[in-house]
């Protein structure tokens, strides 16, 4: 497994809506994440800065990257675009984090 850490940026005041939408994650989105090798996915919010910190384990980086081009993923990006910073294609502005320590 490849461990990935990243950050995204939530608009102020959208904390409850972000959590609500993820608590109601579409089954087809959940299935796609698993189909493309994503596991142990967590997102944390720093309420002071509105920065979201994600952690995800993937089986294969290339396979995971291909999930971005699925119809369900594009639909999810469109659904989330009104509450977080996005790129022109509605993908979330996402910054990879560099691992500095891990302990099993």
Q: Kindly report, residue by residue over 37-90, the tens digit of the pLDDT.
A: 999 999 999 999 999 999 999 999 999 999 999 999 999 999 999 999 999 999
Q: Kindly report, residue by residue over 11-21, the tens digit of the pLDDT.
A: 999 999 999 99
* CATH architecture of the domain with range 2-97: 2-Layer Sandwich (3.30)
* Spatial separation of the C-alpha atoms in residues 25 and 15, rounded to whole Å: 16
* Across 15-34, average pLDDT: 98
- The DSSP code sequence of 70-96 is SHHHHHHHHHHTTTB-B-TTSPBP-EE
Q: What is the dihedral of CA 19, 10, 67, 89, to 10 degrees?
A: 130
Q: Beta strands of 16-66 (E only): which ranges?
A: 38-46, 51-58
The model's pTM: 0.93
Structure tokens at 64: 């995971």
Q: Indicate the domain borders of the chain.
A: 2-97
CA distances in angstroms from 104 to 48, 53, 68, 97, 101, listed in the order given: 29, 20, 29, 19, 10
Active site residues: 22
Query: In which band, very low, low, confident or very high, does the pLDDT at 99 lie, cut at 50, 70 and 90?
Result: very high
């Amino acid at each position: 497994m490849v461990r990935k850490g990243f950050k995204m940026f939530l608009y102020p005041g959208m904390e409850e809506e972000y959590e609500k939408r993820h608590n109601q994650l579409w089954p087809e989105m959940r299935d796609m994440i698993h189909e493309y090798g994503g596991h142990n996915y967590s997102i944390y919010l720093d309420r002071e800065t509105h920065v979201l910190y994600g952690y995800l384990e993937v089986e294969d980086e290339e396979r995971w990257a291909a999930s971005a081009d699925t119809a369900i993923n594009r639909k999810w990006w469109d659904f989330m675009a009104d509450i977080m910073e996005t790129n022109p294609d509605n993908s979330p502005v996402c910054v990879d984090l560099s691992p500095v320590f891990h302990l099993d």
